[in-house]
Structure 1
Amino acid sequence: MLTGVVIYRVIIGALVASTAMTGWTAYYFEVDAARRHRQKSAVMETQLTKQITALQRRSDTVRQACDARQKAASEPDAADSRTETQLVTRLAERDDLNSRVDTARTDQTRIAEELQAMLSERDRLAAQLDSAKGAQAELRTALKANKARINAAVAELEGSQRQRATLQERQQRLRTRLDAAIEKQSKLRARLQATKKRIDAKQLELRAAKEKLDKLQSNLSDATGRIARLTTAVDRAEQARQQEIERFEQLKIALENKLRSQEITIERLRNDRTLIRVGGDILFSLGSAELKPNGAEALRLIAEALKEFPGRQVSLEGHTDNLTIGGALSEIYPSNWELSAARGARAARFLQTEAGIDPRRLRVVGYSEYRPVAPNDEPGRRARNRRIEIMLLPRAKNVSVKQAELPHTP
């Protein structure tokens, strides 16, 4: 506040000094104008003096001419009327020149008086100018000092303004940070509320989970007993499976010894599947689905082996070569699809009616010529593709029983 007052006073002093300087400057300009007017008057006076001198010379010339004319007129041989007229004209010119000379002398007197007055005024103004020069020097000194004070005050004011701008900028940054902090606080408050709601929900879930856990622990106690019983059952089933495998191996050896044919093979596949492959030429004649006596005997022996595994499904799959069925047989079997299916069905019917196999264990599939075991490029290989495959499937019932015994877990 004090700095502003100081600056105000300095500026007012500078304005006062400037006003005084302006008055003296106007006075100086007035003196200078009088000096220029005096110089102009001197020039005019000189010109008038020259004009008066010239007029006086012309007047003297005219006067001399008139005197000459008058002298000539008094002589006996005077000039004619034309010379008289010229004389009158010259006299008129002389009178006019005399009048103009008088006027010029009057003007000269007046100008001389004005010049004298102007010279007096010049002296007075010169004295005032000298006094004004002294005052002007003092004012210049004061003005210089005032300018220095003004410059210092302006510099101080600019510094204050810069400081104020810096403070305003800092205040703006703080306000921005405050707004950001308020916004962040609002978001955190909203997140806190949301988190609190989630915590409440989780607590409800925790209580429900605890109740569920208590129930599961109770169920677990019950399930532990069932698992123990199931483990015993699984052990028994595995023991039975091993016994079944041993029995299958024994039956396989016995069956191979009884059949003693290269066209009948027995092999154990993955997933507890057992495959008995019987050549079609043993069971059926070419292009026929009627069993041969040797084929019936072979199926009867195989049925005895299948009876040792009463809990397993049996799939009978018919296969043919790629030869086309012709003649009268084509009316019965239009393609190898019908022939392969008919052979599988005939073998299944024999196992049911002649060997006493439960028909619910049986299923029939015909694959025609599309699953060969050898290329169909010569008779011996085509004979290998004409076959019946009896597939002993694994027990699916054991798996379902185990799953049914397991406790239910939500």
Structure 2
Amino acid sequence: MKRFFPVMLICLSLLLGACVSKNTFEQKVNEADQLSQDVAQLENDVATLQQEKKQQQDDMSKLNARLVEVLQQNSKLQRSLLAASAEQERKEGDISRHQQRINMLQDQLNDMQQTNDNLLATIEELQQQVEKERIAKEARLAKVKNTYDQLVGALEEEIERGELTISNLEGKLSVNMLNKILFDSGKAEVKPEGKKVLSSLGGVLNQFPDKALRIEGHTDNVQISSRLIEKFPSNWELSTARATNIVHYLQDQGGVPGERLATCGYSEYQPVADNETPEGRAENRRTEIVLVPFESGVGFKVEE
């Protein structure tokens, strides 16, 4: 079932091949590949968690070995105590000195016992901590996957139309939209068809009140033309203006509370494709809505 959804998309594209253009077919295949990569990433996350669990088990084995060593030292000390007591009593018959020797060894024995108790308590505490971390990590992975599945299900039509994609990279969920859907070339005002997509998106994102939305604007490396340079001196201003306008729309029309929104522009400096080709530049001209942890009354939380 892990690869059912991408395979279904490919089959649907093949069945409709007679009715759609080659570009649409390729787009569907790319989307299917992207979803397959997302599933593979989740599997990698599970493998990483299992590796961490194994490392923790190795650490526990080392602590147990240390405990055995201490207990052996304890046993040796006890034998020394008995041997010393017998030898002292036999040679000197001095009850007082014999008792002092016993007391000294007893103190050492008590110290060793305390060390044993502390080590056992440390082992138990580490075991509890490891278990809590394991449960927390599994819960985070499950929650991210559940949110991803819900987003894909809720935005299935928009995904099929090629209006957006959803990615999950190392537990970071983001909704990715190409700027050709949202903006005309060199402009920051959201197009009518872009507003329709954002309206649908806002309704879905409001279903996740524990997530804040960081809207990130990106451009290609083509410099601003002379006719636009007065309004947008560089791609910094253009990417930031586009992200800001999306924030305004999500708040004013999509009903997303302002405290859950943030905006930033990355200009041309975080490309996802080669800027040397038209296709690569088109991919780099994009807007990403990144879902990050949020708590009402606290605000954005630091991501682990």
TM-score, reference length from structure 2: 0.50
Q: In structure 2, what is the equivalent of residue 245 of structure 1?
A: 145
Q: In structure 1, what is the equivalent of residue 154 of structure 2?
A: 254
| Cα distance change, pair 383–236 in 1 and its aligned pair in 2 (3 A) | closer
Matches within 5 A, 1:10-409: 242=142, 245-270=145-170, 272-394=171-293
Aligned-residue CA RMSD in angstroms?
Answer: 4.3
| Cα distance change, pair 311–379 in 1 and its aligned pair in 2 (3 A) | same
CA displacement, residues 63-88 of structure 1 (integer Å, 9 cap, x when unaligned)? xxxxxxxxxxxxxxxxxxxxxxxxxx
Q: How far apart, CA to CA, are the structure 2 residues paired with 1:385 and 1:313?
A: 24
| Larger gyration radius, structure 1 or structure 2 | 1
Q: How far apart, CA to CA, are the structure 1 residues paired with 2:238 and 2:200?
A: 24
| Cα distance change, pair 334–244 in 1 and its aligned pair in 2 (3 A) | closer
Q: How far apart, CA to CA, are the structure 2 residues paired with 1:265 and 1:336?
A: 24
Q: In structure 1, what is the equivalent of residue 38 of structure 2?
A: none
| Cα distance change, pair 359–234 in 1 and its aligned pair in 2 (3 A) | farther
Aligned residues: 193
Q: Is the 8 A contact 2:182 2:195 kept in 1?
A: yes
Task: Name whichever structure is richer in strand by fraction.
Answer: 2
Deviates more, 1:339-348 or 1:308-317: 308-317
Q: How far apart, CA to CA, are the structure 2 residues paired with 1:294 and 1:303?
A: 14
Q: Is the 8 A contact 2:154 2:204 kept in 1?
A: no
Aligned-residue offset at 1:234: 8.9
Q: Name the amino acid aligned to 1:310.
A: P
| Cα distance change, pair 394–348 in 1 and its aligned pair in 2 (3 A) | same
Aligned-residue offset at 1:284: 0.6
**How high is the sequence identity, in percent, across the aligned residues?**
37
Q: How far apart, CA to CA, are the structure 2 residues paired with 1:284 and 1:294?
A: 9
Aligned-residue offset at 1:289: 0.5
SS at match of 1:267: strand
SS at match of 1:393: strand
CA displacement, residues 178-214 of structure 1 (integer Å, 9 cap, x when unaligned)? xxxxxxxxxxxxxxxxxxxxxxxxx9xx9xxx8xx8x
Q: Is the 8 A contact 2:186 2:228 kept in 1?
A: yes
| Cα distance change, pair 368–239 in 1 and its aligned pair in 2 (3 A) | closer
Q: How far apart, CA to CA, are the structure 2 residues paired with 1:362 and 1:399?
A: 16
| Cα distance change, pair 243–315 in 1 and its aligned pair in 2 (3 A) | closer
SS at match of 1:321: coil
TM-score, reference length from structure 1: 0.38
Task: Name whichever structure is richer in helix by fraction.
Answer: 1
Q: Is the 8 A contact 1:318 1:341 kept in 2?
A: yes
| Cα distance change, pair 284–238 in 1 and its aligned pair in 2 (3 A) | same
Q: How far apart, CA to CA, are the structure 1 residues paired with 2:274 and 2:301?
A: 38
Q: Name the amino acid aligned to 2:142.
A: Q
